[in-house]
Amino acid sequence: MGFVDLFLTDVKSVSPKRECLRNALEQRHVAEFFAGIGLMREGLERQGWKVVYANDIDPEKKQMYQGHFKDKHSHFVQGDIHKIKADSIPDIALATASFPCNDLSLAGMRQGLEGKQSSAYWGFVKILEKMKDRRPPLVLLENVAGFLTSHGGADFAEALLALNRLGYAVDPMIIDAERFVPQSRVRLFIIASKTLSPAEEVLESPSFFEDQVRPKALVDFIFAHPEIIWSIRPVPPLPERTLALTDMLEDLPNQSPFWWNQERTDYLLQQMSERHSQQLDKMKKSRKWCYGTVFRRVRKGRSMAEMRTDGIAGCLRTPRGGSGRQILVKAGYGIVKARLLTPRECARLMGAENFNIDVPLNQALFGFGDAVCVPVVEWLTQNYLEPLALELLNSL
């Protein structure tokens, strides 16, 4: 029995189950795993989809989620994904998983999918497996771009083959949120689907598949792994960003406690390289306010303050050890001021400008730094998930 036959058997052999699938697709029902503060949900629901189940292990993220969404107590289950029972998941059209990226990045020492946190992916796969004929027809994964190269690509291949074994064909994309908001945030997305047409065989040259969302490194991976069942679909061009960093900033008065005192500001400036100091000096002499963002990084055993002034913030991160907290520098009229980005500014940079924030600073920075950019999810939903859902519905 072939790949397509397996799916057709799943959805057509038992009428009640087929009707449950149809209802879930019609209602666009979603289960959101590793939900965090709910920004995946925010993007999906802006396009008419509905989250009916959410899970995360972190109580502080749950607090932020429940502080924003009105149905806060109806479907959020806090706990370890390895302990979730598959039969507790309602009928859904889509399962999403923004599983922990710590072990897939340099910061996580590239431990990969066997690392303590990123191994949670296998808990997600186990749930899908145990859902059997209730398995959703669509899956959306999100993680750092480093997932592609973790352990020389072996982790990525293993993760995709696991989805293949559950009856899904896969389509990966790399999207930088910078196309939507003034934040450099490159993420890898995988849409897995129980397609009703044979998965596309990759026969063309690699350059044929290269586009805005599938750069050369990703296409090279696709061609190097013919054992993976791919389903590569065309997508429209990404939008051109219209906002700059200055559009995201709060107009804080000089007396605001967010602004650092002179001693703390001077200490930051002393950590800059000569090139960045010269750049800041030009900004300081300007007859208008100029802005830059700064991260502290360890270079050759020394803490350095590295600044960018291209109108785009660096990637928001979780503030572990202080180095992940992004600093705003404001200079002009002979003055230099510095402070951390505010939680509201972080929300705006994630495309969640109206998110309700009623938690302490660091908790908010953790929540937004570990989330998915809302307009990217909106774009994927509108241009990929929605057309695919309609195709699946028409096939039933």
Q: Write out the E strands in 271-321.
A: 290-299, 302-308
Q: What is the pLDDT at residue 319?
A: 80
Q: Are 225 and 201 in contact (CB under 8 A)?
A: no
Distance in angstroms (rounded) separating the CA atoms of residues 229 and 224: 12
DSSP 387: H
76 or 108: which leads in pLDDT: 76
Distance in angstroms (rounded) separating the CA atoms of residues 195 and 8? 9
Any idea which of 23-27, 283-287, 316-320, 351-355 has the lowest mean pLDDT?
316-320
The pLDDT score that the predictor gives to residue 108 is 46
CB atoms within 10 A of CB 68: 21
* Kind plus residue range of the DSSP H or E element containing 141: strand 138-144
Identify which has the larger pLDDT, 19 or 332: 332
Summarised one tens digit per residue, pLDDT across range 78-106 is 999 999 999 999 999 999 999 886 544 44
Hey, where are the domains in the chain? 3-238+372-395, 251-341
Contact between residue 174 and residue 145 where contact means Cβ atoms under 8 Å apart: yes
Q: What is the mean pLDDT of residues 105-118?
A: 48
Q: What is the pLDDT of residues 6-62, one digit of tens each?
A: 444 554 444 677 788 899 999 999 999 999 999 999 999 999 999 999 999 999 999
More confident residue, 321 or 310: 310
pLDDT score recorded for residue 380:
98
- What pLDDT is attached to residue 70? 83
Of 163, 165, 187, nearest to 104 by C-alpha is 187
Q: Give the residue-averaged pLDDT of 206-216.
A: 81
CA 141 to CA 147: how far, in whole Å?
A: 11
CATH 3.40.50.150 fits 3-238+372-395, yes or no: yes
For the chain, give the percent of residues with pLDDT over 90.
77
* C-alpha radius of gyration, the chain, whole number: 22
Asked if 272 and 305 touch (Cβ cutoff 8 Å), the reply is yes
Per-position DSSP letters for 238-271, written without gaps between them: PPPP---HHHH-----TT-TTBPPHHHHHHHHHT
How does strand 335-340 pair with strand 290-299? unpaired
Q: What single-letter amino acid sits at 379?
A: W
Over 60: is that where the pLDDT of 68 sits? yes
Q: Are strands 327-332 and 335-340 parallel, antiparallel or unpaired?
A: antiparallel
b/e map 151-177, b = 16+ CB within 10 Å: eebebbbbbbebbbebbbbbbbbbbbb
pLDDT at res. 114: 56
Query: Confidence class of residue 110 from pLDDT cuts 50, 70 and 90?
Result: very low
Whether residue 178 has pLDDT greater than 90: yes
pLDDT at 364: 96
Binning pLDDT at 50, 70 and 90, where does residue 197 land? low
